[in-house]
Amino acid sequence: MNYLTKLLHLLSNKNKKRLSALVFFSIFISLVETLGISAIMPFINIAINFDNIHSNQYFQNFYDFFSFESEVDFTIAFGFLLLGFYFFRGAVTILHSYLIAQFTEHLYAETTKNLFKTYLNMPYYIFASKNSSYLTKTIMTEATLLSKVIFSALLLMSEVFLVLFLYTVMLFVNWKITVSFTVVLSLMLLFLLKTVSKKVKLVGQTREEFQSQYYEIINKLFGNFKQIKLQDKNRLILTKEEFSNAVTQYAKSAASGSFFSAFPRLFIETVGFSLIVLLLVSMLYLSQSNIAHILPTLSLFGIALYRLLPSVNRIVTGFNAILFHHKCIEIIHEEMLTKQELSGNDRIAFKEKIELENANFFYKEKKVLNSIDLSIIKGEKIAFVGESGSGKSTLVDIIIGLHVLTDGDIKVDGVLVDEANLQNWRSQIGYIPQQVYLFDGTIAENVCFGRELDKDLLEKVLSQANILDFLQKKQGIETMVGEDGIQLSGGQKQRIAIARALYGQPEVLVLDEATSALDDETEKKIMNEIYKISEDKTLIIIAHRLTTIHGCDKIFTLKNGTLENIE
């Protein structure tokens, strides 16, 4: 699929219609520009010789129809008419620029929203396989570049139409001079396309590659700042050098892109204005006298070339900009094709039990779960233990609806968990991870996590998580936690995670090795609190240490994809 097809695939039907309207408006603008330039020659023609008013049938008809008293009055009226037309041309040109800017910025916003929606709806296993810095770059940078590509393409089309219309007028006025100019300008454009444009495309690919690298390095830095600070000096130097190299190479590619964008304008202006001077010199040489008699024609060609040269420059610059940023089309198109999951919100009630029947799961052709049958009674405390990579987390992710079974069923009170009720089932899960991410905000914002604030419920879950008393010694629920909860201890972060999970009033509470990073004493305190909190809830624990699961009703181990009850 070529880039144009991919680009059109990214546009909604409404945006395709708006784009078509802008293209037609661009044609209209080009016609207006051409008329404005073409009108210069007849105006100069009658201004330097009033006899031309009467020798031209159309001028004479207008002269008689409006009953002008003198040739001066007619010429002045022509000038004011031309002046009014130029004001009109300026107004529609400004409107055209405004509409293009509005369209491209609207497209940026829509593309960003569509990417965000696509990422939000992609299956969990696909998200787990992607690099978060790449996703961030796509939303923040590539979407911006896509709007720049569209902007460049619209301006390029407008200038192409203008060049075609002006070229037609110049052919009509004097085809010999026009053909001579065409040969020179064509050779000039061929040179630019074969040299500069090829370089721009390669530089654009380099830009995308190194920009991805430095986004990834920044992501690693801020995500592991403490560990990086504790590295030895040589490793710190290597980290700095790695980032420095990526940024330097990106800056070089950006600088090259800027240079190659400016080069065509300088080259075209130099050649173009040299052609105008050469034309005048040639005319003087051939006539061996003054050239007043062809002044209107020369004026037209001078003004036309004066307008054409920037147009040709914009065409080349726009084309180079598209080549430089062309990768964004491919990247966004590919991301928009990311598989989406359907997750309906049909009510699914959990009052009795969760069942897995003949559950099989493959990951990249490897069988992780093998014909598992499991029943979890409401209110039970269940633990899964086993070696890393044995499939514990995968099994729990299937139970809570993050993964879909390759074969077999998961039922809640006999109702199959499927696309119709998946989101509703997920909303009944309270999840406490091992690595808790707290964003730079208040306790209330981190616990509510985008949900509507219920102050009574918030204080209740903070009290259940045994952290409300600590917070009341500070700023209460308005206490700031810092980026990634840097203002809190490990145990306090886990308690905030517990409160966040409880705030949704879940039926099932899941601990994914949630206390493995804590010391024994803190872990014991938190686990006792969790057992107390979950007295009326179903509790599912993934753990390595047996001390974590002392209060569980059932303990299972996973080995070679098979589930065994060990207690």
281-340, pLDDT tens digit by residue? 666 666 555 555 555 566 666 666 666 667 776 777 777 777 777 788 888 888 888 888
How many CB atoms neighbour CB 482 within 10 A?
A: 12
Nearest to 518 by CA among 532, 504, 498: 498
Quick one: DSSP state of residue 215?
H
- Alpha-carbon distance of 37 to 42, in angstroms, equals 10
Residue reference for tokens 């961030």: 136
- Considering only residues 109 and 274, tell me which one the structure prediction assigns the higher pLDDT: 109
**β-strands 508-512, 538-542 pairing:** parallel
pTM across the whole model: 0.70
**pLDDT of res. 122:** 85
What pLDDT does residue 104 have? Answer: 86
Check if the beta carbon of residue 561 is closer than 8 Å to that of residue 370: yes
Scan for tokens 């190299």, then name that residue: 245
Tell me the pairing of strands 366-377 and 353-363: antiparallel
Helices (H), 174-232: 175-223, 225-229
Which tokens hold the place of 480?
A: 């700031």
Would you state the pLDDT for residue 166? 75
With bands split at pLDDT 50, 70 and 90, how would you rate the model's confidence at 105?
confident
C-alpha distances out from residue 263 to 35, 256, 314, 466, Å: 30, 10, 12, 66
3 state SS of 152: helix
The residue-averaged pLDDT of 216-226 equals 63
Give the number of other Cβ atoms within 10 Å of residue 152's Cβ: 21
Q: What is the rounded distance in angstroms from the CA atom of residue 389 to the CA atom of residue 408?
A: 21
The predicted structure's pLDDT at residue 346: 87
pLDDT tens profile 381-400 = 888 887 777 788 888 888 88
* Secondary structure string (H, E, C) spanning 439-500: CCCEHHHHHHCCCCCCHHHHHHHHHHCCCHHHHHCCCHHHCECCHHHCCCCHHHHHHHHHHH
Instruction: Give the chain's domains with CATH numbers.
Output: 3-336 (1.20.1560.10), 353-565 (3.40.50.300)
Which of 89, 204, 203, 102 has the alpha carbon at shortest distance from 150? 102
Contact present, 432 and 497 (Cβ < 8 Å):
yes
Tell me the per-residue pLDDT of 449-500, one tens digit each, with 9 for 90 and over: 778 888 888 888 888 888 888 888 888 888 888 877 788 887 888 888 888 8
Q: How confident is the model at residue 372 (pLDDT cuts 50, 70, 90)?
A: confident
Q: Is 16 helix (H, G, I), strand (E, B) or coil?
A: helix
d(CA 361, CA 408): 9
Relative orientation angle of helices 490-503 and 455-464, to the nearest 10 degrees: 130
* Residue found by looking up tokens 């084309």 in the block: 319
At CA 99, angle to CA 25 and CA 11, rounded to 5?
85
Strands 381-385 and 554-559: parallel
| Of 77-81, 248-252, 272-276, 319-323, highest mean pLDDT | 77-81
Q: Are strands 407-412 and 508-512 parallel, antiparallel or unpaired?
A: unpaired
Q: What is the CA radius of gyration of the chain?
A: 36
Sequence-distant (≥ 6) Cβ neighbours of residue 368 within 8 angstroms? 361, 362, 391, 394, 561
- CB within 8 A of 116, min separation 6: which ones? 139
Residues 256 and 250: their CA atoms lie apart, in Å, by 10
DSSP string covering 78-142: HHHHHHHHHHHHHHHHHHHHHHHHHHHHHHHHHHHHHHHHHHHHS-HHHHHHS-HHHHHHIIIII
**Are residues 403 and 563 in contact, defined by beta-carbon separation less than 8 angstroms?**
no
Q: How far is the C-alpha of 182 from the C-alpha of 192, rounded, in Å?
A: 15
DSSP state of 531: H
Give 57's Cβ-side CA count (13 Å radius): 0
Alpha-carbon distance 80 to 69, whole Å?
Answer: 17
Beta-carbon contacts of 1 under 8 Å, excluding residues fewer than 6 positions away, are 9, 333
Residue 493 near residue 438, CB atoms below 8 Å = yes
Q: Name the one residue in this structure whose structure tokens are 């784009």.
A: 19
Mean predicted lDDT score pLDDT of the chain = 79
Question: What pairs with residue 539 in β-bridges?
Answer: 381, 509
Joined tokens for residue 434: 């091992």
- pLDDT: which is higher, 497 or 55: 497
Count of Cβ atoms closer than 10 Å to residue 224 Cβ: 12
Helix, strand, coil share of the chain (percent; to 5): 70, 10, 20
- Return d(Cα 12, Cα 6) in angstroms, integer: 12
Q: Output 160 or 296, whichever has higher pLDDT.
A: 160
Contacts of 112 (CB under 8 A, 6+ apart): 139, 143
Report pLDDT for 558.
83
Length of the chain: 567
The secondary element (H helix, E strand) that includes residue 432 is strand 429-432
